[in-house]
Amino acid sequence: MFHAKIKSETLKGIVEVVSTLVDEAKFNIDANGFNLKAVDPAHVAMIEMEVEKNAFEEYAADETELGIDLDKIKEVLRLARSGDIIEMEQDEEKNRLIIRVGNITRRMNLVDITGMSDPRVPNLTFPAKVEVSSDELQKGIRAAEVISDHIALNAGPDGFEMYTEGDTDSVSLRLPKDLLISLDCIEDVRSLFPLDYFSNMVRSIPAGSGVSINLGTDYPVKLEFEIADQRGNVDYLLAPRIESD
Amino acid sequence: MFHAKIKSETLKGIVEVVSTLVDEAKFNIDANGFNLKAVDPAHVAMIEMEVEKNAFEEYAADETELGIDLDKIKEVLRLARSGDIIEMEQDEEKNRLIIRVGNITRRMNLVDITGMSDPRVPNLTFPAKVEVSSDELQKGIRAAEVISDHIALNAGPDGFEMYTEGDTDSVSLRLPKDLLISLDCIEDVRSLFPLDYFSNMVRSIPAGSGVSINLGTDYPVKLEFEIADQRGNVDYLLAPRIESD
Amino acid sequence: MFHAKIKSETLKGIVEVVSTLVDEAKFNIDANGFNLKAVDPAHVAMIEMEVEKNAFEEYAADETELGIDLDKIKEVLRLARSGDIIEMEQDEEKNRLIIRVGNITRRMNLVDITGMSDPRVPNLTFPAKVEVSSDELQKGIRAAEVISDHIALNAGPDGFEMYTEGDTDSVSLRLPKDLLISLDCIEDVRSLFPLDYFSNMVRSIPAGSGVSINLGTDYPVKLEFEIADQRGNVDYLLAPRIESD
């Protein structure tokens, strides 16, 4: 059983994050909220999301799993104006989700979740952690994407750098320690990542919020950030691109 | 003879309605204003429009017929700013229309109206009439167009509904009696229409204005609405799509 | 040696003008500012630009020539917000230009200027000169471009006209003497120009500024206007299209 009401902005934020990786997702729901784990089709990135029930305006649920086509939720969100409340109700008999916005009722088939098992989250230890505003990351990405399709994330005791090199040009966004929210790094680390994955994820982070970047050398990156007005959090893991010499 | 001045917004409203059905139209002009009847090339929809001379800022005309390429009028309207006055003058000798906006003079050939006879308006009796805000119709159309290419208009003694069903999903906009401007319906009626025609016409209705929807079962729909600041009115007829069982 | 700081808006204005004709340009720099001459690949139009050093916020330079890919400067400008200062520094050793905006550093290879000699500016005498607001020219271009791909510039003792004729329609923007900033014309002149060249150049002129149009009959046109807050000026020459009878 699942029956809840949520602000359209909050639902939009959740869907934007998940849909950077997958078109369909299995939401694991219980009485306290929901969680979700998803891996992109190329197995390059993974997302782990937890949202508490108090991110919702109203919430009533038993343990259940809902397979949801995220594009359909986006269609409904386009009908909502800022401030609108979205009502969602599971129709267990017909295996449907009923969504209401104002006078509009949308009934959608749920996605078959047979075989949509939750991915295993790898055990990782990161030597460096940088906390930075998502706006700075956005700036670095915009500068990088005209140069190349990958981006290096470098950290050291003095600060954090996003660096990209192309055939003729290079671009760097350097954030010294005092422009970071926090920095926990005792030796230099550096890893290279596919720019499109990194960019899509960073763009889904709420504007103006802080992001923790966990880094190593030739090692995955883990981004941690909050959604749903601090009532939800996301871990995003991205595999590195190993540089050949 | 035809020589008139009109606010660019008023002319824009007129052209938007007519151009949902046809690219060229014959305007029947006399001393009191103009009227126009047009059928789309597929003979699915018909429009009847009447505009009084006091919809114009200045107006002087004898009985005449002008064949006008609506895209050319749109080109001129794109040169006008809000509040600009458009001057239109028939050049009978050269069979042209001269249009002035500010310091710009556009001279355009009129369209040959031989064979552009006015269509006959069918005689219809509608068992139900619903008056509703055009904004609500727009909302229902936006919800429907991701689902299917047709839309059902249903009315009953309790209210009005726009309903669309696709292969897996359905969507409904229900307006109970108290959300309608008026409702005159003693038994349930329901007809199915092509969504693109309905959508194009509804989008041309001035935002925030009321629309009368005349309905029956498996029967045409007639939309009635005002344009040109209540100095003009439009009847729009759309043939139903008969559902096969 | 070249090391300077400039407002992003000022740099944007300079790049927009030059890039209407060429993708790459040679900037001739000395202690007092820079100048630039460029001809488009089809040899139909020429630009001459001079910008004083006080158009810059800071400026230090010896005589040098920089071959610059204008698209790369545009990429950097897209990273700047209004009011941002752009720092540019020649790296003579690596033949690069280093550009800084905020925390972002972009390093770009300079373009090889071997063979990029300055074009010779022809000696021309114009019988008429019209000074007009660039906004009026923009209006005339917008009206013309739906009609044809050329535009006639006509001047006489009474005023200035932009005139375009197509197969069925014509359009004219007439500016009588009192709507011009100044008019110096004792006999009628008329020349025809390719609309795309004229339109691209006029669109690059700062909005709301005055333009001097030097005209003759079947003769080139020379546009003169200021950029960089009156600390720079541009001469733009466009060859006429000779009308065949």
Q: Do C107 and A139 touch (CB under 8 A)?
A: no
Q: Does A169 sit within 8 Å of C108, measured CB to CB?
A: yes
pLDDT tens-digit readout, C202-219: 999 988 899 999 999 999
Given a cut of 60, is residue C94 above it in pLDDT? yes
Both structure tokens of C167: 């197969």
The predicted pLDDT at position B82 comes to 87
Banded pLDDT at C243 (limits 50, 70, 90): low
User: Which residues from B are below 8 Å from A when comparing CB atoms?
Assistant: 136, 139-140, 142-143, 146, 168-175, 179
Residue A244: the pLDDT is 63
In sequence order, which residues have a C-beta less than 8 Å from that of residue B133 and are 6 or more positions away?
A: B181, B208, B209, B210, B211
C167's CB contacts (< 8 A; 6+ apart) are none
| 3 state DSSP class of B228 | coil
Q: For residue B59, give the amino acid letter.
A: Y
Is A171–C102 a contact, with Cβ atoms under 8 angstroms apart? no
pLDDT at position B220: 97
- Write the residue in C104, C108, C109 that is nearest to A143 by C-beta: C104
Nearest CB to C103 within list A142, A168, A175 = A175
Cβ–Cβ gap C105/A142 under 8 Å: no
Q: Which of A52, A9, A12 is nearest to A34 (CA)?
A: A52
* Closest partner CB to A104 (pick from B139, B168, B169): B139
Q: What is the pLDDT of residue B115?
A: 84
A210-215: strand order across its sheet:
A64-69, A24-30, A33-39, A45-52, A232-238, A221-227, A210-215, A128-133, A182-184
C107, A171: Cβ pair inside 8 Å? yes
User: How far, in Å, CA of A244 to CA of A230, rounded?
Assistant: 40
Give chain A positions within 8 Å (CB) of C78. Answer: 142
Query: What is the spatial distance between Cα B238 and Cα B198, in angstroms, rounded to a whole number?
Result: 8
Q: In percent, how much of chain B has pLDDT > 70?
A: 99
- Does the pLDDT of residue C25 top 70, yes or no? yes
**What's the pLDDT score for residue A245?**
53
Residue of C nearest to A168 (CA): C109
Measured CA angle at A153 (ends A20, C76), to 5 deg = 85
Task: Kindly tell me if the per-residue pLDDT of C244 is higher than 70.
Answer: no
Q: Using the beta-carbon criterion (under 8 Å), do C171 and B102 form an inter-chain contact?
A: no
Closest in C140, C169, C179 to B108, CB measured:
C169
Render pLDDT for A115-131 as a digit per residue (tens, 0 to 9). 888 899 999 999 999 99
CB of A209 within 8 A of CB of A191? Answer: no
Domains and CATH numbers, chain A: 2-109 (3.10.150.10), 128-238 (3.70.10.10)
* pLDDT at position A243 over 90: no
Cα angle C193, C194, C198; round to 5: 85
* Cβ contacts of B174 on chain A, cutoff 8 Å: 103, 105
Cα distance between residue B27 and residue B18, in whole Å: 11
Query: Quick count: other Cβ atoms within 10 Å of Cβ C128?
Result: 24
Mean pLDDT of A12-18: 97
> What does the block give as tokens for A176?
């010294």
* CA C138 – CA C143 distance, rounded (Å): 9
The C-alpha of B102 sits at a distance from chain A's nearest C-alpha, in angstroms, of 39
Question: Is C158:C240 a contact under the CB 8 Å cutoff?
Answer: no
Average pLDDT of the residues in C79-93: 95
pLDDT in tens, B10-58: 999 999 999 999 999 999 999 999 999 999 999 999 999 999 999 999 9
pLDDT at B242: 79
Query: By CA distance, what is C175's nearest residue in B?
Result: B103
Nearest 5°: CA angle at A13, between B207 and A6? Answer: 75
* Type of residue numbered A49: M
Chain C interface test: which of B105, B109, B111, B112 (most C C-beta within 10 Å): B105
pLDDT, position A82? 87
- DSSP H helical ranges for chain C: 8-18, 70-77, 134-144, 195-204
Q: How far apart are CA B33 and CA B97, in angstroms?
A: 17
For residue B202, give how far its alpha carbon lies from the nearest alpha carbon of chain A (Å).
17
Within C56-214, residue ranges assigned H as helices are 70-77, 134-144, 195-204
Would you report the helix, strand and coil content of chain C in percent, each value rounded to 5? 20, 45, 35
**Cα distance between residue C169 and residue A216, in whole Å:** 68
pLDDT digits (tens, 9 = 90+) for C42-72: 999 999 999 999 999 999 999 999 999 999 9
Is residue C157's pLDDT more than 80? yes
pLDDT tens column, A222-235: 999 999 999 999 99
- pLDDT digit string, tens, across residues A153-210: 999 999 999 999 999 999 999 999 999 999 999 999 999 999 999 999 999 998 889 9
pLDDT of B174-221, one tens digit each?
999 999 999 999 999 999 999 999 999 999 998 889 999 999 999 999
Mean pLDDT score of chain B: 96
Chains in contact with C via at least 3 Cβ–Cβ pairs below 8 Å? A, B
Question: In the 8-state DSSP scheme, what is residue A98?
Answer: E
Percent of chain A with pLDDT over 90: 95
Nearest residue to B179 (alpha-carbon basis) of B222, B143, B142, B135: B135
